[in-house]
Structure 1
């Protein structure tokens, strides 16, 4: 499952944002150029300042890759899909803020693995929901 791949990526040294995009690439066989993952480097740790969780930013990047052909305005549903993911993540974990998530869920050894795993589960549910709508 996507959540397991994301968690494993995170536990193997990728930041939370990178872990999500890498997991999506593997799980959905996207064949992204390896340079694509560099874009997520600065999004880990809440954009480096413990603000917006990297799981959220990495997930939103993946949604764009999956649901947008060339430009966001060409996708009638990307705003709805993104909103659905963000609200589902917030419902599940209570906040989008990295610092608050760390305070609530971070463990000494596993760090934010539980947040990455929960985010991966929510992300997969949203992707399944919208892929089935487009059929």
Structure 2
């Protein structure tokens, strides 16, 4: 499942955006090259200032690549963001509930992404 792959990468020294991209690449066969993953090396910890959670950023990037129709992308993007907000009461990195790091946020964020993608 997507969330297991994403958590695996997160626990193996990839940041939030990178693990979302790599997990989605593996799970859905998306054409995400290593240079794309490398470009996201500095995109974590709410862009370094604890603003928008990088799981949200990575999820929106995956949605943008997975779906081809602009209206579908807009709808799925908002569905994903709203579901993250509903789960954590924020999309702000600095306000996320971080018990023992971000493992739970990464796992649940990837699970939400999987549900949004697989619901068509």
Above 0.5 in TM-score? yes
Partner SS for 1:44:
coil
RMSD in angstroms over aligned alpha carbons? 1.2
TM-score by length of 1: 0.84
5+ residue gaps, structure 2: none
Partner SS for 1:42:
coil
The answer to whether residue 99 in structure 2 is matched with residue 106 in structure 1 is: yes
| Among candidates 108, 119, 123, match of residue 109 of structure 2 | 119
5+ residue gaps, structure 1: 69-73, 131-135
Per the TM alignment, residue 42 of structure 1 is displaced from its structure 2 partner at its CA by: 2.4
Counterparts in 2 of 1:73-112, with a 5 A limit? Answer: 75-101=70-96, 104-107=97-100, 111-112=101-102
Per the TM alignment, residue 34 of structure 1 is displaced from its structure 2 partner at its CA by: 1.3
Larger Rg: 1
Off by >4 Å, runs of 4+ in structure 1:
none
TM-score by length of 2: 0.94
Q: What is the number of residues matched between the two proteins?
A: 120
